Amino acid sequence: MFSRGLLFSYKTILLSSLFLMFSIYSVVVSFPITSYANHAQEISISQDFALFVPLTSGGNQVNVLVNYTANDPSIVNQMVNSVMKVYTTNRTLIKTSSSAEGFIVNQTGQQRHATTIGDSTLRDVIAVVQFTDLAKTLPLSNPLRVNLTLNQTGAP
């Protein structure tokens, strides 16, 4: 019904179309993924000051002040967030807190993290702070771990 030459040209067109579609897919999909290959390196954070103190109204407060530097110029003036997780010394997560609206990143700056722990029997905790995207799903900085003892200053 079809000549051999006509079938060959249909196959050629089909294979060429598939190759073109794959090429377009590779360019469109692959580039955004590779541009985010270095997550958790866009911002560097370090401890400035940390406290674990009792509150007069009950419970204890974890307070961590973090210094940051934007390593990626494209993150400057962008909205990001940061998350602080507080653990017991046996690594049980007891509290997660973050900023409700996030904040705008400067080239360098500081960000304060504070949360109240209701269990006033805890004497030692571990706070881990990490900057994230605004949705709090992708890490943008190194995790910063701070070991804290009640009524002692956590100086770096």
pLDDT tens for the chain, 156 residues: list them.
555 554 455 555 554 554 544 444 444 443 333 344 567 789 999 999 999 999 988 899 999 999 999 999 999 999 999 999 999 999 999 999 998 899 999 999 999 999 999 998 999 999 999 999 999 999 999 999 999 999 876 565
Check residue 91 and report its DSSP letter: -
Q: Which stretches of the chain are DSSP H helices?
A: 4-35
The structure tokens listed for 129 are 């702070």
Question: Would you state the pLDDT for residue 85?
Answer: 97
Burial of 155 (0-12, 13-18, 19+ CB in 10 A): exposed
Measured distance CA(17)–CA(15) in Å, rounded: 5
Together in a domain, 54 and 119: yes
Domain that holds residue 83: 43-149
Residue 44 corresponds to which tokens in the numbers above?
């560097």
- Say if residue 24 is in the same domain as residue 82: no
CB 83 within 8 A of CB 96: yes
- Predicted local confidence at residue 57, as pLDDT: 87
The answer as to whether 154 is a domain residue is no
Q: Look at residue 156 and tell me if it is in a domain.
A: no
Q: What is the pLDDT of residue 35?
A: 43
Q: Say if 49 falls within a structural domain.
A: yes
Greatest extent of the chain over all pairs of C-alpha atoms, in Å: 92
pLDDT, residue 1, reads: 53
pTM confidence score: 0.74
Look at the chain and report how many structural domains it folds into.
2
Residue 87, Cβ neighbours under 10 Å: how many? 15
Residues 6, 80 within the same domain: no
User: Is the same domain home to 90 and 132?
Assistant: yes
For residue 40, give both structure tokens.
């958790």
Cα(15)–Cα(13) distance, rounded to whole angstroms? 6
The encoded tokens of residue 57 equal 């109204």
Q: Which amino acid is at 4?
A: R
